[in-house]
Amino acid sequence: MTTLLSLFGVEPRRIGGTEMFARELSQQLGELGWKSVLCFLSEPTGDVRRFMELPNVSFAALPKSTNGDKQARANLNNLLQQFRSDILHLHYVSFVSWYPWTARLQSVPQIFFTDHHSRPNGYVPQRAPIWKRAAARMILQPLTKVICVSNYGYQCMTAPDLLPRDRFEMIYNGVDLSRVKPGVEAGAVFRKRFSIPADRKIVTQVSWIIPEKGVADFIEMARLVSAQRDDAHFVLVGDGAQRDQYVKEAAAKGLADRITWTGTIDDPFAEGVFAAADVVCQFSRWEEVFGWMIAEAMAHGKPVVATRVGGIPELIVEGQSGFLVDRGDTEAMSKRVLQLLNDDDAGSRMGKLGREIVQTKFDLSKNVTRLIRSYGIGGCEESEVIEATPALQIGNQPALEVYSSRRPSLPASDKSPDKIFAR
């Protein structure tokens, strides 16, 4: 049986976008007679493991894979020997690493890399110096293709000119629409679990509790909205090293009984995170490469207020499926949230359009099918390769409006802003 080994440099601790992608990929591969090896920093356990378990799936662990050091490469070498992989696909690891050569020396025919990395605040893509380009092209020479999850990501990855452009393809991240269940029951269960009164309007953000995600801005927005609406309640779903600091900050602003801190939710879809929300926010300060939680909120028919950063404007149609605001502009954030809380009909219209957008652009099943086509398996002799024309503006350089054409398939520290993973 032919085998794809997917290496994810993350811990599989919840049923989130990465885990849903892994399951959908494995399922479609199984239908084509392929085996799927899912390798994480550690093997999944409990409900997460059961969610991804399929007859054609094997699990593996590669600790400390994000840095690609000598030991990690040796461990990968052993895995490639064990599973005799026909394709290696790298996720959430450093782009410039020796992993591709590790795979090439094991005669792996195809090696893919997906860029999931968000960039620092104000990052401007630009061409790398000639010596960096030369070194990178030598190190990355075995790579078959780089998958970008947004037009913004495509621009960031191609601008440095580390590889020929025909080795890049844009395929959006997706949402598993089969897991989006209509109805209010899950939302009611969520409210009860966290003791949120039924008459409260819920404004939610799902993210790490870190400065880059604009948590301080969310708290200030909550203070401004609370001054206008007694029935507004705010929910922050996620965890992070700065959580205790932000809890104290919220209490100092008189919001102790107005903000619920849920911690990590193992399965946000099934546990009603989005079903309970009236408005979903994402106030990131860094340049999000995609905005998975935004797409998930839209799939649930929820209006979104988000910052105009990175790839986020590719998800939201301004004023129609949600609102875009400048990073750090808490006045604009509170104004837009209040606008939606004060007009249920407008929120419903925006939510409906948002779901239609997800069905068209961010359907996980369709986008995974595109990826499998890019692998050139399942009887597909061609894959979609991105062409681009100038369109949007990123900093002082044009972004890309991408479209696809048909061509033959081509054979810092982990905590720094450009290395933290956009899960």
Name the β-bridge partners of 260. 235
Name the β-bridge partners of 393. 398
H-helix or E-strand containing 323? strand 322-325
Percentage of the chain with pLDDT > 90? Answer: 86
* Average pLDDT estimate for 59-80: 93
Q: What is the pLDDT of residues 118-167, one digit of tens each?
A: 999 999 999 999 999 999 999 999 999 999 999 999 999 999 999 999 99
What is the pLDDT at residue 140? 96
Q: What is the pLDDT of residues 335-371, one digit of tens each?
A: 999 999 999 999 999 999 999 999 999 999 999 999 9
Which two tokens mark 203? 């404004």
What is the pLDDT at residue 378? 66
- The CA-based diameter of the chain, rounded to the nearest angstrom, is 64
As a whole number of angstroms, the distance between CA 112 and CA 90 comes to 6
What is the pLDDT at residue 242? 93
Average pLDDT, the chain: 90
What is the pTM (predicted TM-score) of this model? 0.88
What is the pLDDT at residue 414? 37
pLDDT at 409 over 70: no
Judge contact between 262 and 236, C-beta under 8 A: yes
pLDDT at 287 over 90: yes
Judge contact between 119 and 286, C-beta under 8 A: yes
Under DSSP, the state recorded for 315 is T
Judge contact between 16 and 36, C-beta under 8 A: no
pLDDT at 395 over 90: no
As a whole number of angstroms, the distance between CA 421 and CA 168 comes to 20
What is the pLDDT at residue 379? 56
Closest CA to 145 of 408, 365, 367, 420: 408
- C-alpha separations of 185 from 38, 202, 265, 275, 403 in Å: 33, 15, 17, 8, 40
